[in-house]
Structure 1
Amino acid sequence: MVPVGGAVAMRGDPPPEAVACPNHHVAFHKEKSVPGPEKSPMSGWDQVPAESSTLFSQWPTRAQRKTPAVKTPMATILAATRISRPLAQLATKTSHLKDVSASLRPLPEICSSVSRLQGRRSYATEVDEIGERPVLITGCDSGFGFALAKHLHERGFIIYAGCLLKEQGRGGSKDLDAMKSDRMRTVQLNVCDSEDVSRAVDYMTSTLKMPEKGLWGLVNNAGISTFGEVEFTSMDTYKEVAEVNLWGTIRTTKAFLPLIRRAKGRVVNISSMMGRMANPARSPYCITKFGVEAFSDCLRYEMRPHDVKVCIVEPGNFIAGTSLYSPERIQAIADKMWDELPEIVRRDYGRKYFDEQIAKMESYCNSGSSDTSPVIDSIAHALTSSTPYTRYHPMDYYWWLRMQVMTHMPAAISDRLYIY
């Protein structure tokens, strides 16, 4: 190939006015010539040495070659993606972030470009004086929030653990209060209730040792989940999930941002891998997590001038470690869902199909990891690193590869691989 006027001419082809790049919808045009003597259509080729021109003339054109288009068989693509399942069995548990460089990229010759984009997680560059920095965590009744509150307390932070069930004396608040620590304080906090959020702000402002220094970290962890295809899901369910996962995150963030800005601190929003790739039968959850991702990106842009860092943690399948779904809860949700379905939907789909979808959900819940430490490590890194990452992906090999395929490959391929 020979460069012509800023473009690239392929052998056997005349020099075009513009060479288009089909993958990126960009055309590289030749520079416009200044007024002067008219040049021949082949101007630009007159710079090519004579021996090279002779060589080019001997090459057949594309039409003469009649090379058939090479198509990759779908069977080959399907076989290639199936390697992700065996790879997931190489590790006994979900990888920790500090093991990423050694284990999360099992095929460096395939994933090397991705590895360079991702970068390596480093725990060496931490902020100064981690201890005595206040952090508010929502959703500490169980799951990630409860485990994170205890972990950060051990690291020396002052913890404000927001608990939905504190006033009822149930859930994680009871165990956290039993620690009898000056650095562990539970707060009644329903992220769906603006008055509850305002009272939490007042309580924190009045109990901070140095209110003028603000709040170092806010971890928006509170969330709920459900399942069911679009026609199986009521509008009330959509609104309920959005009220907690999306509006609750926004409501809490807006209330505490003045304290966060004062400290030049951190906002860490717990999203999900389903905030990056949609999944059938999970539309209420996916919608809200996609919204959390967009909100976090917008907030990150706006907070940059204030030296406030905004991070997103996108956990994989950790349902088994969050107590969101027990077999009894899944069945209770399914029974209620079926009873509330319109008659036409029940008749068209049938109970057999409905039960098959519920069985798939039970299988998904049972396949998740019960070790939540990768998620806890990710959040801790976002709060303690002097250069935190925008996004963290604590998940096993299969889900990491699936997320790359679903977010970067054409839908015609990713849909065939994972949906149909």
Structure 2
Amino acid sequence: MSAKKNNFGKKVLVTGTSTGIGRCVVHALMESGFTVLAGVRTDADRKALLQTQTDCRRLHPLLLDVTDDEQVQAAVAVADQLGGKDGLFAVVNNAGISVPGPVEYVPLEEFRRAFEVNLVGQLRVIQAFLPLIRRAKGRIVQVSSALGRLAMPLSGPYASSKYALEGLTDSLRRELRPWGIRVSLIEPGSVSSAIWEKIDAQARAIQRALPGEMQKIYAPLAEPMTYIWKEAELRAVSPVIAARAVLHALNSRHPRTRYLVGPDAYAVAALSRLVPARAMDWLLKMFLRKVRSSKC
């Protein structure tokens, strides 16, 4: 029997589907026979998503800001009505934002925003939808990042929120195991997405907000890191690869606990596992110095 027939009737909620990985996950799930509840931030995003599908009977775009309790509860009501006694087969927690900048000067409200979306928002969705997932004996897929294993300079708010998400997901996976609910993490490296434009804009805004003295102090980090981000964007893999990992996590009888996406994600995982922290600090310092001297 084909995967499409096996998945017919199964309902999956995906958050953050306006662009990038989330949008590709929606397409992959639709092609595999799932009924998809797709969380978007605006009505324009909802209309754009519908236009990408020729058969929209199994696609249900929802206005879903993961930081908004009312929108989350409204989405639960829709999922409950669609799923009925079968419940919700899975949640794919993909919504997330990037907040770059030096820890010393990143505005606290921006730091809180990173955690509110990347950690608390995911938890809000899990707590709200878990009763429906229990009904289906379903699955949870969390989209994290390679930076949830190895934090780079000027990525403190984002990386720390992803580190926290990794710990939360490990606890959740072990807590839900007795009920047969599978929990997986997707750890993408550089993936083609509109997030790169947002990172550039945020980085420029934060740099402009730094006092002149601090701009000089952090220039030796900011200049090579900006170059590294640009290079990472050029080498980014297609979000389709991340969507395939999500599909495996949903379809496999024995899904992995973690899925690495992209060659840089595999490199980061190996480095974080094999290289001691002090050695990693030294290697990174030498690498940034080399980049700055040759490219900046």
Normalised by the size of structure 1, how large is the TM-score? 0.63
Structure 1 contact 191–244 (Cα < 8 Å) conserved: yes
Q: Does 177-186 or 132-141 show the bigger shift?
A: 177-186
Q: Retained in 1: the 8 A contact 2:89–2:138?
A: yes
1:177 is aligned, of 50, 54, 67, to 50
Shift of 1:355: 5.6
CA distance in 2, matches of 1:362, 1:127: 38
Match of 1:254 in 2: 127
Residue in structure 2 matched with residue 401 of structure 1 by the alignment = 267
Distance (Å, rounded) in 1 between the aligned partners of 2:100 and 2:19: 20
Q: 2:67 is matched with which residue?
A: 192
- Asked if residue 158 in structure 1 is aligned to residue 25 in structure 2, the reply is no
The Cα RMSD (Å) is 2.4
The answer to whether 1:297 aligns with 2:165 is: no
CA distance in 2, matches of 1:127, 1:413: 48
Deviates more, 1:225-234 or 1:355-364: 355-364
Q: Assess if the C-alpha contact under 8 Å between 1:131 and 1:157 holds in 2.
A: yes
Partner of 2:10: 133
Aligned-pair CA distance for 1:125: 11
> Which of 50, 53, 76 is matched with 1:201 structurally?
76
For 2:61, what is the secondary structure of its paired residue? strand
SS in 2 for 1:393: strand
Residues 288 and 368 (structure 1), Cα distance of their counterparts in 2 relative to 1, 3 Å cut: farther
In structure 2, the partner of 1:221 is 94
1:307 is aligned to 2:174: no
Pick the aligned partner of 1:338 from 190, 207, 210.
207
Which of 148, 157, 162 matches 1:275? 148
In the TM superposition, residue 132 of structure 1 has moved relative to its aligned partner by 1.4
1:349 equivalent in structure 2:
217
2:293 counterpart residue number:
none
Q: Please state how far the C-alpha of 1:133 moved relative to its aligned partner.
A: 0.4
Structure (1/2) with the larger helix percentage: 2
Contact 2:98-2:158 within 8 A present in 1 as well: yes
TM alignment of 1:343-382, pairs within 5 A: 345-346=214-215, 349=217, 352-353=219-220, 356-357=223-224, 359-360=226-227, 362-382=229-249
- Specify the alignment match of 1:108 in structure 2: none
2:49 counterpart SS class: helix
SS of the aligned residue for 2:161 comes to: helix
Q: Deviations over 1:269-299 (max 9, x none)?
A: 0011111111111111111111111111111
* Residue-pair matches, total: 284
**C-alpha deviation, 1:238, in angstroms:** 0.7
Q: Distance in 2 between matches of 1:385 and 1:127?
A: 13
State the alpha-carbon separation in 2 of the partners of residues 299 and 128 from structure 1.
30
The structure whose RCO (Cα within 8 Å, separation 6+) is larger is 2
Counterparts of 1:285 and 1:184, CA distance in 2: 31
Contact 1:231 1:345 in 2 (8 A): no
Residues in 2 aligned to 1:331 and 1:272: alpha-carbon distance in whole angstroms = 18
The structure that has the greater radius of gyration is 1
Structure 2 segments unaligned to the other structure (5+ residues):
287-296
Provide the rounded CA distance (Å) in 1 between the counterparts of 2:182 and 2:144.
16
Amino acid at match of 2:174: Y
Q: Which residue of the partner structure matches residue 385 of structure 1?
A: 252
Q: Which amino acid aligns with 1:338?
A: Q
Aligned-residue offset at 1:364? 4.0
Q: Does 1:144 align with 2:21?
A: yes
Partners of 2:141 and 2:212 in 1: how far apart? 43
Query: How far, CA to CA, are the matches of 2:145 and 2:199 in structure 1?
Result: 20
Q: Which amino acid aligns with 2:166?
A: E
Q: Secondary structure at the match of 2:23?
A: helix
**Mapped partners of 1:128, 1:362: distance in 2:** 42
Distance in 1 (alpha carbons) for counterparts of 2:156 and 2:261: 22
SS in 1 for 2:195: coil
1:416: which partner in 2? 282
* TM-score, normalised relative to structure 2: 0.88
Q: One-letter code of the match for 1:153?
A: M
In 2, are the aligned partners of 1:271 and 1:312 still within 8 Å (CA)? yes
Q: Name stretches of at least 5 consecutive residues in structure 1 with no aligned partner.
A: 1-123
Change (3 A) 1:332 1:323: closer
Distance 2:33 2:3 in 1: 13
